[in-house]
Structure 1
Amino acid sequence: MTDGTYVGPKPVKPIPQEIRPSQENALRRWGEIRDWVLGLPALERVFLVGAGGSYSGLQAAHYLLDRESALPVVSVNSDEFYHRASPSVGPGALVIALSAAGATAETVRAASWAQERGAAVVAVTLKSDGPLAQAVSNGFISLNGDGNQIVLQLLVLATLAREGHDVSAKIDALHALPDATDAALRGFEPLAAAIAKDMKDVPVTYLLASGPLQGMGSTFTSCFLQEMQWMHAATINANEFFQGPFEVFDKQTKSILFLGEDATRPMVERAERFLSEHSGTTHRIDSRDLELAGVPSDQRGFIAPLVFYPMMFRLAENYASVRGYTLEGRRYMWQFAY
């Protein structure tokens, strides 16, 4: 399974320098995003639409809306959204479409269809000249995926502000994010190296998560391990774990846990107690272990997913380093029509 992507083990790439500029650029969009949401003629329901890593990348925003908004909110795969053709997509619906390059055909079609139905559609993407941004009337353009994650949260906070919520504490916490991310990534690097070294040859990688970190887990196993490292991998919701998947775990099974500081943390802690007794090595990535300078204690659960996002890229770079497979190679994706 080389197909030109095996280059042999190499030193891990350094932490990229563009994370902070992208975060700061996105944070400057708050006033524009707030005004756009407040100016919508009606807002009765929210659809979060994306595919692949973009679909997974919507889950932290979905979690916050579920926790704090009275509005119905659904996150759905782009093609499912289009083919289901819910009659509730129309005036009064806000559709947030996420696509990094804006070139995912299914997301472009879904967003175009929703706009034709009269929904307020906004693209969250990296390219103003990409197909998604060109297909809809409204879009917020970021410099990289870290910026997209902040834009999604700002859209949620603007929705909450429209409902009358005081979001100032979360806005303040977001402004601490660049410094917090810098410190967290530096502190995480030794753990990332240790996990990659220990897990690089496992037959299947299982990752357990919950709440706003569920999507980050899916991004790691699906996009990085399956797509880029050609490893068998799956992310399991920490409660779904007890509905069947735990039967395949034994003392030879290794796994990874994502623990946040949100209301769903007890779900993962329960799974951890089971794994400590019945499974093999369990690697914990716990936001409580992160130095999040400047983030108030009551906002750490909100900020954690935004820090886990670049952490997953660092974990993936460490896998690529020890396995010798680059993150750029694909066998099928983008190689031909499918």
Structure 2
Amino acid sequence: MLNFDEKRFLAIQSGAVATAGELDAIVGAALKAGAPNIFFLGTGGAAILMQPAVDLLRARSSFPVFGGHTAELLAAGSANLKQGSLVILPSLSGTTKESVAFVELAKERGAEVVSLVGHADTPLGRDADHAIVNFAADDTSSESFYVQSLFAALSVMKHRGEIDNYDALVAEIQHLPRELLRLKKAVEPKAEDYAKVIAGSDWHIVCGAGNVWYEAFYYGMCILEEMQWIRTRPIHAGDFFHGTLELVEKGVSVILMKGEGPNRALAERVEAFVPKVGGSLTILDTEDYPTEGLSAEARELLAPAFLATMLERISAHLEVMRDHPLTTRRYYRRVEY
């Protein structure tokens, strides 16, 4: 595979799935101590990656859960951030300015902060009440963060008696590193063609529904815009027909990401419409890629990680094709803003 280190990838994702027990112990202790709620926060793309866990708890648990951006909470505050609140806070570098500042606010309110970081010896690694450390880089962090936040959400439901197959799901997810590698190998022969589609247009509508909507949003904003300087319009499939459809005409590129479960129906509406008006439709569908050792329920929960790992292969070809390394920036962390 192009520019890919298999051993490195497996080590990072194995580190992610190994955090299940540590996260379960932290969440269980917090709920036993009377935690009133849980926050999944972050800055920029890291905040987006937490949202599937938020939606899972909103749909399947009665425990109060909140998501959002640290910068917004720093600016406006939250009446729900209080004594005993449990905060899950990812930052790959452990140095993200807004997230570091938020730890101080959280502690002032009596909240308990769990940081998800790539390095222990960083402000978030040192200052959080608990630091879950799993080294990763930009090309591997999405899967790692998706999995760790999923473990935290499943643990909440376990300790509240809202799920009866926690142990089975966590056991299945231990197979994930191997299955992600299988996905990469399966998509590699098609990755260059997908990259040609992306390189061939000045802008793209990037669409998804359910938990994979967040990967669509993340990929459009953090990879295509930040790392490739390609304009995108990320849009949830449920909102596509409330404005964005009017942008579609002959030649307009629509990249549709399809996950698993009931929200596929929202994506399928977009899939049916775009060709009718001459749009150029490209589909990435997790159902096209079988796995071993993962139930339908586990696959649905892990669909954002599936897409992240598939898209990394496309990005590897895209940066070579466009002679634009994914590490190239003009402004991000290079100028004051």
TM-score normalised per structure 1: 0.92
2:263: which partner in 1?
264
2:73: which partner in 1?
81
Instruction: Report SS of the residue matched to 2:171.
Output: helix
CA-to-aligned-CA distance 1:177-219 (integer Å, 9 cap, x gap) = 1221111111112232111112203121111011211221122
Instruction: Report SS of the residue matched to 2:218.
Output: helix
CA-to-aligned-CA distance 1:204-258 (integer Å, 9 cap, x gap) = 1111011211221122111111111111112110011111011010121111111
Distance 2:25 2:4 in 1: 38
Is the CA contact 2:257–2:285 (under 8 Å) kept in the aligned structure 1?
yes
Check if 1:324 corresponds to 2:335. Answer: no
Is the CA contact 1:26–1:147 (under 8 Å) kept in the aligned structure 2?
yes
2:9: which partner in 1?
19
Is the CA contact 1:125–1:141 (under 8 Å) kept in the aligned structure 2?
yes
Work out which of the residue numbers 106, 122, 129 in structure 2 matches 1:130.
122
Work out which of the residue numbers 17, 29, 35 in structure 1 matches 2:25.
35
Runs (4 or more) in structure 1 with deviation over 3 Å come to: none
Is the CA contact 2:40–2:87 (under 8 Å) kept in the aligned structure 1?
yes
1:315: which partner in 2?
314
User: What is the 5 A alignment of 1:1-338?
Assistant: 12-14=2-4, 16-40=6-30, 41-144=33-136, 145=141, 146-164=143-161, 165-166=163-164, 167-338=166-337
Is the CA contact 2:50–2:145 (under 8 Å) kept in the aligned structure 1?
no
Is the CA contact 2:319–2:325 (under 8 Å) kept in the aligned structure 1?
yes
Instruction: Report SS of the residue matched to 2:325.
Output: coil
Deviation (angstroms), 1:142: 1.0
Distance 1:223 1:16 in 2: 23
Higher RCO (C-alpha 8 Å, min separation 6): 1
Instruction: Report SS of the residue matched to 1:122.
Output: strand
Structure 1, unaligned runs of 5 or more:
1-10
1:7: which partner in 2?
none
Deviation (angstroms), 1:15: 5.3
Deviates more, 1:13-22 or 1:59-68: 13-22
Distance 1:135 1:15 in 2: 32
The one-letter code matched in structure 2 to 1:307 is F
Distance 1:169 1:257 in 2: 31
Distance 1:277 1:181 in 2: 34
TM-score normalised per structure 2: 0.92
RMSD over aligned CA atoms reads: 1.6
Instruction: Report SS of the residue matched to 1:229.
Output: coil
Is the CA contact 1:180–1:293 (under 8 Å) kept in the aligned structure 2?
yes
Is the CA contact 1:49–1:77 (under 8 Å) kept in the aligned structure 2?
yes
Task: Identify if the C-alpha distance between structure 1 residues 71 and 274 changes in structure 2 by more than 3 Å, giving closer, same or farther.
Answer: same
Deviation (angstroms), 1:16: 4.5
Deviation (angstroms), 1:319: 1.2
